[in-house]
Structure 1
Amino acid sequence: MSGEKPKVWIFRDYERCSGCRRCEIACSIRHEGRIWPEASRVRVFMPIPGLEIPHLCTQCPGYPCVEACPFDALLVDKNTGAVIVDRDKCTGCGKCIDACPGQIPFIHPRDGYAVICDLCGGEPECVKVCVEAGYNALITTPRSPSETYKVYARTPQDIAKDLVSKLYGEEWEGWV
């Protein structure tokens, strides 16, 4: 055993999300040094009242965002598997956003570079606060080479349609 931590992935249980946004607060404090949800790497969307969707990078196999960057500003951390943004190289062109199946990256509201979840070096703050609060909507799980991650790499609207259909029946899909 090498003593290395296994690469992790953040599993989302949308039905358990309360919409408290503790994940956004913890992330923004970790990365920005203050409460600033607009700059949080995890964002909670409410496409319809009562349905909260935590939205963050899924570290897709093949990393389409990394491949799309014309400035080599994105790289994959060998230890965590997370996408890391080199702020000095990133121009904020948005090619990573266009390449992402869930359009998850966004441009930092003040500094103009792409913002993507970096897994907090392997111990995500968003997961810590969600578990501490007892919601367990976000939990870490060992990463495996699987295409199932792409199930989560969708826009909040697409996820909402599936959840509404699952929770309330197909006749309610038009409400989203």
Structure 2
Amino acid sequence: MTCSRRSFLTGTSALIFTTGVAGTAVITSRNSFAEQAKSPQRLGMVHDETACIGCTACTDACRETNKVPEGVSRLEIHRSEPQGEYPNVEYRFTRQSCQHCENPPCVYVCPTGAAYKDEATGIVDVHKEKCVGCGYCLAACPYQVRFFHPENHAADKCNFCRDTNLAKGKQPACVESCPTKALVFGDLNDPNSEVNQVISNKVVYRDKVHLGTKPKLYKVPHQKGEV
């Protein structure tokens, strides 16, 4: 059997190419696994107004867990006017807090980068050390949920207990404290998460979606026809 110089080089090139392709496939496979492991979350919440009884256990837990001073609040539960006639009177309770928008106006107007959206979790938060107290983010927020912390004088708001409960692998304080399970929290990017199950199986709405903010706080309406 004869082997010319040309056939030898051709065979060698084919071997190198095949090995290279195989190596690339392995590397690509490893990279895809790494990308899956590091896939970002979109943390969101559902407030079930049909289950909320207005006890404000959530607001108390938020204040205690996150050391929120008196006079300001990261979370409020608003009660509606009486609905119905005595003795069949009902109230509607709705949550007011940061919506953790996909398109957060507060982030876009901040001149120092203090307001930001964490790309790993989707949480909208504040670098307190960068905040200069200009108030642009307070004015830009269409939900009016930001305030100046009276002690550090930086913009503040709900951050899903990112520095407290979430850092410990727990649920936000409001979720843990709710006696009627009116709050559900989880990853909106996970189709099997509890929060997605609620959104898929119940009628939900979001506040001021016409503004294009894409809020991640969903609500189960107290009455049909409100959506």
TM-score scaled by structure 2? 0.56
2:152 maps to 1:152: no
* Residue in 2 that maps onto 1:85: 126
2:99 maps to 1:44: no
Q: Report the Cα distance in structure 2 between the residues aligned to 1:150 and 1:76, rounded to whole angstroms.
A: 22
Q: 1:150 to 1:113 in 2, by over 3 A?
A: farther
Q: Report the Cα distance in structure 1 between the residues aligned to 2:205 and 2:161, rounded to whole angstroms.
A: 21
* Residue in 1 that maps onto 2:85: none
Q: Which stretches in structure 2 are left out of the alignment for 5+ residues? A: 1-35, 83-90, 190-203, 210-220
* Residue in 2 that maps onto 1:160: none
* Residue in 1 that maps onto 2:174: 126
Q: Secondary structure at the match of 1:98?
A: helix
1:76-135 CA-to-partner distances (Å, cap 9, x unmatched) read: 2233211121112223333212222212222224443212221122431111111xx1x2
Q: 1:69 to 1:150 in 2, by over 3 A?
A: farther
* Residue in 1 that maps onto 2:181: 136
Contact 2:102 2:122 in 1 (8 A): no
Q: Which stretches in structure 1 are left out of the alignment for 5+ residues? A: 155-162, 171-176
Q: Report the Cα distance in structure 1 between the residues aligned to 2:95 and 2:70, rounded to whole angstroms.
A: 12
Contact 2:98 2:145 in 1 (8 A): yes
Return the index of the structure with the highest Cα Rg. 2
TM-score scaled by structure 1? 0.69
Q: Secondary structure at the match of 2:37?
A: coil
1:52-76 CA-to-partner distances (Å, cap 9, x unmatched) read: 2211111112111111112221122
Match of 1:72 among 113, 131, 140: 113
Q: Report the Cα distance in structure 2 between the residues aligned to 1:8 and 1:72, rounded to whole angstroms.
A: 21
Contact 1:58 1:153 in 2 (8 A): no
Pairwise CA distance, 1:4: 6.9
Contact 1:14 1:137 in 2 (8 A): yes
Pairwise CA distance, 1:37: 6.0
Matched residues, number: 151
Match of 2:94 among 42, 53, 56: 53
Pairwise CA distance, 1:21: 1.0
Return 90-99 or 60-69, whichever deviates more: 90-99
